[in-house]
Amino acid sequence: MYDFDTPAPRAGTGAIKWDIRSSAFGNASALPFWVADSDYMSPPEVTEALRDAAARCIFGYTVPTEGYREAVAGWIRARHGWEIDTNWILPSIGIVSELSNIVRCFTAPGDKVLIQTPVYDPFGNVVKTSGRTLVENRLRCGENLRYSMDFEDLERDLASGVRLMILCSPHNPVGRVWTEDEVRRVAGMCRDHGALLVSDEIHWDLIAPGFTHFTAGNAGTPDNVIVLTAPSKTFNIAGLKCSNDIIPNADLRRKLSAWKETRHMEGPNNLGWIACEAAYRHGAAWCDEQNAYIARNARLVRDTFAEKLPEAGISPLEGTYLMWLDISRTGLDSRRVCEELNRAGAILNDGYRYGDDRFARLNIACPRAQLEEGLRVITGVLRGILG
Ligand SMILES: Cc1ncc(COP(=O)(O)O)c(C=O)c1O
C-alpha cells in the first residue's frame, strides 16, 4: 500500500501551485486546488532511481537509451494495448511546447486548427500565438453534465478546410474518457478530410474504475495521427520536463525532427529520462492505487456536494483528477466566484479560461485531509452565495 495521505511539503520549493498564491491570487495561505499536479509524493521507485542517479554523479549530455525506449513501449503495450515500434518515439520536453512545435511544423500561418471547447486553455493559445486560425468545435453538455462531441458540427468544421485537430483525450476539464467509438469516429473524420489528428493523451493513465481509455494510436489511421504522452501527470514529475510523441508515420516523424533540429531544440534532461523509465518499469501498482485514491476523493466531493450544495452539479469524473463544477446557480460568473473562494481560502481555476464561465475546475490530486479542508471552504462560500 502506497501513502497518498501524507502531504508533500511543497510550499517554499518553488512549486507554482503553492508559491505564487500571493502574487497570483493575493492570498498566500489559501489551499491550492488549481495547477494540475499532485500534492502527495511521487512513487518511491521513481525517487530511488533519481537518488541512485545523483549518487553516480554523472550528468553529462545524454540521448534516450534503448532501455528507455523499451520502457516507454512496454508501458504503452501493457497499459494501452498499443504495439509500437520504439523508433516511433520522439522524446520532447513537455506537451504544450511540443503542441506549439507541431502546429508550426505541420500548418502554415492562417491555416485552420480545430480544438474542442471548453478545453485546457494552452490549446487555443498555441493556435492563436502561432498565427493560425482557431476553429472551436463546442462540446455538448448533456444530462447529468456528461459531455459529448457534436459530430455534425465537427464534420462541417473539418470540411471547411481544417488542417490539424487537437484532441484532448481524456478530456481536461470536462472529465470524459472518450469511448472507442468516439475516438474512431474522430480519427476517421480527420483522415477523410485530410486533417492531421494530434491526440494529447497526457492524462491517459488517470482513469476512474470502470472506464477504459482508447488511444487514438489504435484507431486505425496510423499515418494520420500523432499521440502525445507523458509520465508527468500520472507520476507527478511534471517539473522534470519529459514527454514522448508517438508518431507511427515515418515522414511525419522525419519532418518534425528536422523542424526541431533546425531550431536547435533539444530533448529532455537526463534526470527526466531516468524518472520516466523508472516510472514506466516499476510504477504500475502505484498508478493503480492512485486511481483508486482519486476515485475515493471524487466520491467525497460528490457526497459533500449532495449533502451541502445539491444545487451545484458536477460532471462525472471518468478520467483525470480534475473535477468540473457547475456553479451557474450562483448567478455569478466563474471569475467572481473563484475570487470569493480565493479570499476565503481555496484556489480553484475559473471556467472562463477554458471557455465556460459557468464552471470552476477543482484539482483533487491531494491528500484527503487537504481536500476535506478545501471542501469546507468551498461549500461554505457557495452556500453563502446561494443563500
Ligand atoms: C491536456 C493537457 N495537456 C498538457 C498539459 C501540460 O503538459 P506539459 O506540462 O507537458 O506541457 C496539461 C496540464 O495540465 C494538460 O491538462
Dist. CA 86 → ligand 1 center (Å): 23
* SS3 state of residue 242: coil
Residue 337 to residue 44: CA distance in whole angstroms: 38
Q: Does residue 291 line the site of ligand 1, with CB under 6 A?
A: no
Cell of 265: 531544440
Q: Which residues does 37 contact at the CB level (< 8 Å), separation at least 6?
A: 15, 17, 233, 236, 238, 365
Residue 154 to residue 223: CA distance in whole angstroms: 21
Domain segments of the chain: what residues? 16-43+285-386, 60-282
pLDDT at 297: 98
Q: Which residues does 246 contact at the CB level (< 8 Å), separation at least 6?
A: 76, 82, 84, 88, 89, 90, 217, 226, 227, 228, 229
Indicate the top mutation candidate among 16, 35, 92, 95 to test ligand 1's pocket, ranked by most ligand atoms within 8 A of CB.
Answer: 95
Residue 166 to residue 226: CA distance in whole angstroms: 10
Helix (H) or strand (E) holding 148: strand 147-148
Please check whether the two domains, 16-43+285-386 and 60-282, share a CATH topology: no
Distances (CA, A) of 314 to 33, 225, 359, 362: 16, 32, 9, 10
Q: Which residues does 387 contact at the CB level (< 8 Å), separation at least 6?
A: none
Fold of 16-43+285-386: Aspartate Aminotransferase, domain 1 (3.90.1150)
Query: Looking at the domain covering 60-282, what would its CATH class be?
Result: alpha beta
Among candidate residues 348, 239, 232, the one with its CA nearest the CA of residue 14: 239
pLDDT at 366: 98
Dist. CA 200 → ligand 1 center (Å): 8
Dist. CA 202 → ligand 1 center (Å): 6
Q: Does residue 206 line the site of ligand 1, with CB under 6 A?
A: no
pLDDT at 266: 86
Q: SS3 letters for 173-231? A: CCCCCCCHHHHHHHHHHHHHCCCEEEEECCCCCCECCCCCCCCHHHCCCHHHEEEEECC
Q: Does residue 238 line the site of ligand 1, with CB under 6 A?
A: yes
Low-confidence ranges of the chain (pLDDT < 70): none
